[in-house]
Structure 1
Amino acid sequence: MKMAQVGIFLDRKVAEDRWKYGLNVFEGYYSEILSHAGIPFQVLDQKEQIGDSKLDLLIVALEADDEETAAAIWKFAELGGVVISYGGLNKLAKKLNCTIRSSGCAGYADVSELSDIPEGLRYLQAVPWTIDHVGANRSIGLAGLLHQGEPSGKVLGPAKISFSVGKGVIERWAVQLMSTIVGFQQGTMPILKDGIPAPDGTANVDEGILKADDGIELDWELDRVITETGNPYFSLPYADLWREVLISQLLKSAIAKGLTLPFLGAWPKGISHVAMISHDSDLNEDVTAVTTLDVLKQAQIQSTWCMIEPGYSPFIYERVKQEGHELAFHYNAVSMDNGHWGEEEFQRQLNWFKEATGETEAVSNKNHYTRFEGWGELYEWCETHGISSDQTRGPSKMGNVGFLFGTCQPYFPIAWWNQQNRLYDLLEIGFLTQDMDIGCWADTTVIEPFLQQVKRVEGVAHFLFHQVHLHHTKEAHAALLTFVAKAKDSGFTFWTGKQINDWVRARRKVNIKGFDASGEIVLQGLDEAPEVIVWIPVLNNESIPSSEHIEVRYGVKCIKQQAAYPISK
């Protein structure tokens, strides 16, 4: 069995030209997506490297708009390679007998014939092509539809066009994938002003406090559904589903060439799905902490406690630690609660946290009231002061619970152009909802649809419960127990933020090197995450021993392997 070699072409000179003029290069985020999936790849930053790369699959992330680059990409396909592009390759449009169109605005892509995703996927930017005529000696395949504005809007063209080129193929998608995924996860602009509120009055984000959810890119009317009890929520993790489209494309393209493309499982052996509960101490009443500890003991789970100044009495922290919970930081930048935004204040409060709790570090942070402004200042402060995970990106209102940032997967955010769009060394673990059944938030009817979507994309079902509500309202107490019971019944294991952060970082150190002479998969760095799972896609005509564990992943049949892999040092 031979493993496909994957490359990402991101022209360094084009990137530098963009940065010089204050433009973002979010196309570099392909590396983060493949790293999260555990797919091995190499990055090419000059067109001259394409011909010498020995690659099988080439993702063209960012290319120069010149004839030389177009010729290098064309030759790669002509010699048998697979070229994959999302919204690019415009220099080749005329040669492929196509006309470049403009999408004009956000819209929805029907990719049901290309994937196991029946819903229309929202996109933020696209550059569709239309076919003028089919050239001689070339086959063309059209798949999916691009709709303008709304799921049933004007059809702009196919979602994907496949062109045979010599011995290879060019697969061009209309959607500009990286600006779409980053836009969902982090917004399209720094947060400098209030967001637009929901027209039904359920999410008044324009209250004069800058927050993470002032920068969402979903549509209040098109992207929310309503539960049987009248709770509106953002129902689909669009960014995660687009990630699936990309990975599925790679796996299927490899198989079409008679190759396989192994990838890593999201969670370790014995863990099917992950749920998380966090608490924000806010009013800091000891009695509420005691009640919360008792509820967690009843539920038999551990959780993450985000502590805000002035905090609890010392005996609370000792019990929290003794019972296996995580003590985390809850940075307060809300002026009405005597906080303000700035690194000096962030550091001062973090020093208070360490002194009060006796902890030498805080692994996790969540900002009070999801307070957020700018683009990446918070992430830089966390990097500088030793915090490795953040949980701030979540809903602050009843009407925007759910997948308002298009994701439930842990991910590393990308910086703005002034830092050359580097990845922050900070793992974001957003949350889906706060305190259910207390009147000012969603009720427990959102639990099952949230769990269903989290399972679908192997994310984290992160729910927030404040200690004060668990103590003062029996409804919040019952809601936590209901969530835990439903999650466990659905195969979820509860982890703290620290456990998730530790696992994701350890798993990222495992690299798939290929197959040895006996056909066994070879991994590097397995000692960092010995419980990791590897999925190996099987070829369409390959006979599979009955002893193998087979599951469909990303739309292809895969063999599941775990433990006792050869290790390449």
Structure 2
Amino acid sequence: MTRKIARIAILLDRRAAMRRWAYGLNVFDRWVGEMLAHAGLPFEWLDETRQVLEQGIDIVIAALPGEEQDDLDTLMRFAARGGIVISYGGLNGLARSLGFRRCGSIGPGYASMPFVHAEDRPLRFLAAEPWALRDDSPKTHQAFGELYLSPPSRQSVSQTPLATLLQIPVDRGRIERWSVRVADTLVGLQQGLSPLLEDGAPAADGTAGLDDGLLKAEDTITLDWQHDRVQTETGATYFAYPYADLWKESIIGHLLRSALSIGRTLPFIAYWPDGVGQVALISHDSDRNHDEDAITTLRELADCGVTSTWCMMKPGYSVSLYDGIQKAGHELALHFNANENEGGSWSEAAFQRQHEWFVRTVGNGAVVSNKNHFTRFEGWGELYRWCEACGLASDQTRGPSKRGTVGFLFGTCHPYFPIAWSDEQNRLYNVLEIGFLSQDLGSFTDFSVVVPLLRQVARVHGVAHFLFHQGRIHSDPAVRNSLHRFVLTAKEEGFDFWTGKAIVEWLQLRRSFTIIGRDANGDVLLRGDDSGTTVPRFVVWEPLDEGECKSIDDHLTELRFGVDCKRSSYIISGKGSVPGRS
């Protein structure tokens, strides 16, 4: 049976958003669109609540619905006639009419999940708006998962009997309400809860002295020092869980199941091209700018058989070296120095001067990537605006500068487009953030963290980005040996090595294609613009129910987002079409 493709819409009511922006409030709900776009799902935007009844939509994600009673009534009518309304901590105006009472805002905490997550581990959330059934209301809903107000253990009992997800029937349809404010949680994990204006609080065990007088990316981390870090057998401490990515796994898995439950399917484009499951990225920061560092690093990378991204800080290497670096297939990128102790400053003028120096010095091709020296960071979106103004497509600043913040300190290993603050109406910056997990293995931290980190990255099909300074590769045998060992281990774990530029170019191409329906043969149809170039094969996954899965060859099916899916590989040729399937 060939199922119809579900029509999914994200509702972000324009009037409700403008009202919040007028008061300086954030509408991070807009990031729901980035979550679906990164997952390769087809969807459309609605900016007025009344549109849900006019568009032939199957599932509405009410990211920010209108606030008038007519708007709420419209969503109820949509559900009553067979639609599904999904909310991430919203729709509070419907609580009483649906037989529930609001319990107020809670968080941070942990949520046990009804669907996909690692090792049955509850996921950290930063904000939730749970409901509880009113005493005078009959129980007609289903509840899934539980919220915990403090880190739970396997033996602990939830401090509050509040559900992670409520499934509430409304005539022929239903409302699926997550208690967690998912968008706020994802943005908070990845970017912090507020602009960065002061040092972060250090870890009590002395492993992460964030209060060092230098503003840097990890000063805004929102994880728990004790519960969210683990120690390896050698005593190395690291943040072990990509909570933001695991939330996305659960949210997307729920959306796929919702489509199947109404007799529809929701195909999606895989994260990577055919034959690639997950990607490893090695980057370097030139820092002391000694030519011998570059020469040694070139030799070691050639021995490893991989290419990497070289972030260059003024004054850089001798100009004669750059041609050899690029001929070897490596990417040259900017390493912005805003450290006041070294004569730098956190300003757009300083960023532009260093970018101009880089372009003038290298002078043969567009600059794609940047990483800030010392992971220097300040404010909220200034860095991304500077990158946009200079035509830089990617930043790699968000990573650990302290031994105790190694790992998933921002909850993610996925590339993502950061969201702006309310003063820019929470637009998405056109700068792809590709954070890193550790630096200088063998010196900064020991190798024991590598395999567990790689396996978590592989689980969510992300990017394992590790930084090795050229100076350390040259001067420290332990770092040099760890580079070789890292490359070998990552390849054994199924990783392909890409540069930052290659990641950006692939994701730009992938985002230019979308699923628009089926062709006459029933195959999923993509449309985009590849400008007539030859590109890698796309993989499209189509969710199946249990009966359909049994009728498909095992080698064509795989669990994606916790749902059995059928795999198809597409050859892209010509402008904007996918005429065949392999």
TM-score, normalised via structure 1 length: 0.97
Partner AA of 1:557 in structure 2: D
1:127 to 120, 126, 129: 129
Structure 2 match to 1:101: 103
| 1:330-479 pair list within 5 angstroms | 330-438=335-443, 441-479=444-482
Equivalent pair of 1:114/1:143 in contact (CA under 8 Å): no
Q: CA deviation at 1:102?
A: 2.3
Structure 1 match to 2:112: 110
**Once the two structures are superposed, what CA deviation does each residue of 1:409-450 show, in whole Å capped at 9, x if it has no partner?**
000000110110000000000000010112xx2100010011
1:26 to 22, 25, 28: 28
Matches of 2:439 and 2:578 in 1, distance apart?
Answer: 45
Where 2:175 maps in the other structure, the secondary structure is: strand
Q: CA deviation at 1:116?
A: 4.4
Structure 2 match to 1:149: 150
Matched, 1:521 2:524: yes
2:540 to 515, 534, 541: 534
Q: CA deviation at 1:364?
A: 0.3
Where 2:419 maps in the other structure, the secondary structure is: coil
**Once the two structures are superposed, what CA deviation does each residue of 1:100-158 show, in whole Å capped at 9, x if it has no partner?**
112433000011x433441110000001111125856x731011000013225622501
Matched, 1:77 2:87: no
Matches of 1:446 and 1:508 in 2, distance apart?
Answer: 32
Equivalent pair of 2:101/2:134 in contact (CA under 8 Å): yes
Q: CA deviation at 1:246?
A: 1.1
Q: CA deviation at 1:2?
A: 0.5
Matches of 1:34 and 1:419 in 2, distance apart?
Answer: 22
Matches of 1:481 and 1:15 in 2, distance apart?
Answer: 51
Matched, 1:550 2:557: yes
Runs of 4+ in structure 1 deviating by more than 4 angstroms, as ranges, are: 133-136
Structure 1 match to 2:321: 316
Q: More deviation in 485-494 or 138-147?
A: 138-147
**Once the two structures are superposed, what CA deviation does each residue of 1:348-377 show, in whole Å capped at 9, x if it has no partner?**
111111122233431000000000101000
Q: More deviation in 152-161 or 292-301?
A: 152-161
Matches of 2:136 and 2:59 in 1, distance apart?
Answer: 24
Equivalent pair of 2:41/2:269 in contact (CA under 8 Å): yes
Q: CA deviation at 1:169?
A: 1.2
Matches of 2:98 and 2:515 in 1, distance apart?
Answer: 36
1:214 to 204, 210, 219: 219
Partner AA of 2:553 in structure 1: S
Equivalent pair of 1:549/1:559 in contact (CA under 8 Å): yes
Equivalent pair of 2:540/2:570 in contact (CA under 8 Å): no
Structure 1 match to 2:37: 35
Partner AA of 1:215 in structure 2: T
Structure 1 match to 2:566: 559
Matched, 1:4 2:6: yes
Cα distance change, pair 103–228 in 1 and its aligned pair in 2 (3 A): farther
Where 1:455 maps in the other structure, the secondary structure is: helix
Matches of 1:412 and 1:383 in 2, distance apart?
Answer: 12
2:58 to 48, 51, 56: 56
Partner AA of 2:300 in structure 1: V
Partner AA of 1:480 in structure 2: L
Cα distance change, pair 309–454 in 1 and its aligned pair in 2 (3 A): same
Where 1:155 maps in the other structure, the secondary structure is: coil
Q: CA deviation at 1:564?
A: 3.9
Partner AA of 2:146 in structure 1: L
Partner AA of 2:564 in structure 1: K
Q: More deviation in 418-427 or 65-74?
A: 65-74
Partner AA of 1:549 in structure 2: L
Aligned length: 565
Where 2:530 maps in the other structure, the secondary structure is: helix
Q: CA deviation at 1:98?
A: 0.8
Matches of 1:341 and 1:447 in 2, distance apart?
Answer: 33
Partner AA of 2:421 in structure 1: W
Equivalent pair of 1:292/1:467 in contact (CA under 8 Å): yes
Where 2:292 maps in the other structure, the secondary structure is: helix
Matches of 1:131 and 1:149 in 2, distance apart?
Answer: 23
Matches of 2:335 and 2:238 in 1, distance apart?
Answer: 25
Structure 2 match to 1:16: 18
Matches of 1:378 and 1:73 in 2, distance apart?
Answer: 39
Equivalent pair of 2:115/2:253 in contact (CA under 8 Å): no
Matches of 2:135 and 2:529 in 1, distance apart?
Answer: 51
Matches of 2:514 and 2:18 in 1, distance apart?
Answer: 29
Matches of 1:231 and 1:339 in 2, distance apart?
Answer: 33
Partner AA of 2:35 in structure 1: I
Identity of aligned residues (%): 48
**Once the two structures are superposed, what CA deviation does each residue of 1:230-262 show, in whole Å capped at 9, x if it has no partner?**
111111111111111110011000111111100
Unaligned runs of 5+ in 2: none
Matches of 1:521 and 1:322 in 2, distance apart?
Answer: 40
Matches of 2:72 and 2:181 in 1, distance apart?
Answer: 18
Structure 1 match to 2:330: 325
**Once the two structures are superposed, what CA deviation does each residue of 1:289-340 show, in whole Å capped at 9, x if it has no partner?**
1111111011000000000011101222121011110000000000112211
Matches of 2:554 and 2:472 in 1, distance apart?
Answer: 50
2:228 to 217, 220, 223: 223
Unaligned runs of 5+ in 1: none
| 1:155-194 pair list within 5 angstroms | 155-194=160-199
Partner AA of 1:553 in structure 2: R
TM-score, normalised via structure 2 length: 0.95
Equivalent pair of 2:107/2:125 in contact (CA under 8 Å): no
Structure 2 match to 1:263: 268
Where 2:132 maps in the other structure, the secondary structure is: strand
Structure 2 match to 1:500: 503
Where 1:190 maps in the other structure, the secondary structure is: coil
